[in-house]
Amino acid sequence: MSQIPAARSQDLAPCRTCGRRFAQDVLLRHDPICRKVFNKKRKPFSSMEQRLQGTEIMTVRKQHPQKKQPEKKSNWRQHHEDFINAIRSAKQVTKALKEGRPLPPPPPPSINPDYIQCPHCSRRFNEAAAERHMKFCEEQAARRAFAAKTTRPVGKKLVTQRKPPAAAALPHRKRAQEGSQYR
């Protein structure tokens, strides 16, 4: 275990760039190299370029990176709060069942801010589903509006009402009325 003598450690001087301590003669050689290294901006290392160096693939034209879609704002906090509320309400239900009390009302549904609301039916969908749904819902709303204009009331009943299905057309009802052998 060799230790540096106290007299020799006092001869060390700190480098102005990196702060390390060197002897005077070493510091004269170290200082210009240290300044040169610390002043240089290092270019980011690309392992792909290194792997492709010396191959035919290196001569292939580089493709521009695809445009990134703008990242959606993360709503993790909302998800976390919904999760906590769901656990709390489940605990209340469990406690009420154990004590024999009536069940508490369910928590109100949370609204996902990422979903888009349909202007026709007020339901909410993600972007892809909203596009499909809104086209369909718009057609349905137009059909209902057209049907409401064309139907005329006859007395108290509307012309467009359907007849109730006949009992003979539904064999499972007939069996239930007669008293099925499967009971």
User: Across the 183 residues of the chain, what is the mean pLDDT of every consecutive 10-residue run?
Assistant: 54 90 92 87 85 74 64 79 92 94 87 86 91 92 86 58 59 55 51
- Count the domains in the chain: 2
- Distance, C-alpha 46 to centroid of its chain: 30
pLDDT of residue 9: 56
Residue 108 lies in a domain: no
Classify burial at 101, counting beta carbons within 10 Å of its beta carbon; exposed 0-12, middle 13-18, buried 19 or more.
exposed
Residue 137 lies in a domain: yes
Reading the block at residue 95, the tokens are 């406690």
Which structural domain, as residue segments, surrounds residue 123? Answer: 113-149
DSSP code for 114: T
**Long-range contact pairs involving 43-47 (C-beta distance under 8 Å, separation at least 24):** none
Residue 69 lies in a domain: no
Residue 26 lies in a domain: yes
pLDDT of residue 101: 93
Sign of the four-CA dihedral 17, 18, 19, 22:
negative
